[in-house]
Amino acid sequence: TNMFATGTRTVRGMEALTLSVPPTPGNSIVRRPNNEQLFSIATILKKRDYDLQFIYGGDGYFDNMNTFFGRQGFTIVDRNRGNPLPESIKTERINIEDRDVTFENAWGICDEDSYNQALRMADLNARKNKPFFQFIMTTSNHKPYTFPKNKISMEQGSREAAIRYTDFALGEFMKYARTKSWFGNTVFVIVADHCASSAGKWEINTEKHHIPAIVYNSKMPKTEVGKLVSQIDLMPTLFSLLDWNFENATYGKNIFKMKPEEERALIGNYRTLGLLKNNIFTQINDRKQVQQFIYNPKKKTISKEAKLENLELEKLTVSYYQTASERFKNKMMKAVNN
């Protein structure tokens, strides 16, 4: 209930969820060159012979998503509007055919159609007795907020209506998934990539980074976690819930073993990077100006700038982002083949 997105765009969410890394200064790693063979969620899954699938209702050429996921070994499932993968990427690409689409707008097919692709791919894996991992990127909760008619009681065109349709489609997906042989052995992670209207050139609005996150399995007891955590913590938490032993070469932590003094969230936008910790938000902009604010954990907001001069938090903020940037630049985030 207290998770924060690292950034303001989808590629930042993807970076955090797959690499468990703070938002590196400048572009997301998803969009950068030299992002192949990184230690990622795929590194751990491939060691256990999982089939990896990136399912997107548009053309994953957008924002370099197909290249990024393809380089990590994911099969690409998208609309494929004629934008080929680089020749160096040998992964399989599966086209979502017109006959499988009931509704589509500029961003891509509706969420129900995307989930139908996921169900179909999961069934194929189950028939082959092959474990699978799917990263599904839906598009309906996005301007212009259009979706199939007669699905919900609200008219198209508003964000509230799109959210209601998104919720409806997710419910339908879970309803059909419950009928499948693989349902009981599957963990579902439902999380936002970022919030609406969170982008700002300089200022960071912490309440605009607060996102929902649900980890569900029919055999798991219901637990509510109120710790201050980040998107980057989902990967190690997921594998810990599965009781997997793995080497964690990331910045993320297992939420269930996280001590109070380890709670924190890393938040950034186009020109400013910040650390939320101990009810203090420390931010550093691209002019190297440091500001610190008092954080209200109930309202998820920050006060006007406080003259705190907490040098320890300032140093910690710098260290998170500087090490993440240097590790990527110097190829220290690459997966090591054992």
| Residue range 2-50, pLDDT digits in tens | 999 999 999 999 999 999 999 988 899 999 999 999 999 999 999 999 9
* More confident call, 304 vs 248: 248
Nearest to residue 266, comparing CAs of 282, 254, 279?
A: 282
Which amino acid, one-letter code, is at 278?
Answer: N
**β-strand partners of 137:** 56
Nearest to residue 197, comparing CAs of 207, 185, 187, 188?
A: 207
How do strand 93-95 and strand 3-4 relate by DSSP bridges? Answer: unpaired
- Cα–Cα dist 85/77, whole Å: 12
Omega within 30 of 0 (cis) for the link into 236: no
Task: Map residue 175 onto helix, strand or coil.
Answer: helix
327 exposure class (CB count in 10 Å sphere: 0-12, 13-18, 19+):
middle
Q: At 321, phi and psi to the nearest 5?
A: -75, -35
At 14, list the tokens: 């993807």
**Do 4 and 190 touch, CB atoms closer than 8 A?**
no
pTM (2 d.p.): 0.95
Q: Is the dihedral of CA 261, 40, 268, 196 positive or negative?
A: negative
- Give the model confidence (pLDDT) of 168-222 as tens digits: 999 999 999 999 999 999 999 999 999 987 666 668 999 999 999 999 999 999 9
Nearest to residue 336, comparing CAs of 74, 48, 40?
A: 40
- Cα–Cα dist 26/7, whole Å: 11
DSSP string, 268-323: E-SSEEEEEETTEEEEEETT--EEEEEEETTTTEEEEE-----HHHHHHHHHHHHH
- Out of 3.40.120.10, 3.40.720.10, 3.30.56.10, 3.30.420.10, select the CATH number for domain 3-329: 3.40.720.10
Q: At 28, phi and psi to the nearest 5?
A: -65, 145
Residue ranges of alpha helices (H) inside the chain are 10-19, 41-47, 65-71, 111-127, 159-177, 234-241, 311-329
Percent of the chain scored above 90 by pLDDT? 91
- Cα–Cα dist 105/144, whole Å: 8
Alpha-carbon dihedral of residues 192, 64, 92, 114, nearest 10 degrees?
A: 30
Opening angle at CA 30, ends 24 and 36, nearest 5 = 105
Look-up: residue for tokens 């997906």?
173
Q: Does the pLDDT value for residue 338 go beyond 70?
A: no
At 53, list the tokens: 């699938």
Omega within 30 of 0 (cis) for the link into 144: yes
- Give the model confidence (pLDDT) of 227-266 as tens digits: 999 999 999 999 999 999 988 889 999 999 999 999 999 9
At 98, list the tokens: 């017109």
The structural domains of the chain, with segments of one domain joined by +, span 3-329
Amino acid 270: pLDDT: 87
How do strand 51-56 and strand 132-137 relate by DSSP bridges? Answer: parallel
Q: Is the dihedral of CA 35, 36, 38, 42 positive or negative?
A: positive
- Give the model confidence (pLDDT) of 266-296 as tens digits: 999 989 999 999 999 999 999 999 999 999 9
At 45, list the tokens: 């899954």
Q: Does the pLDDT value for residue 305 go beyond 80?
A: no
**β-strand partners of 307:** none
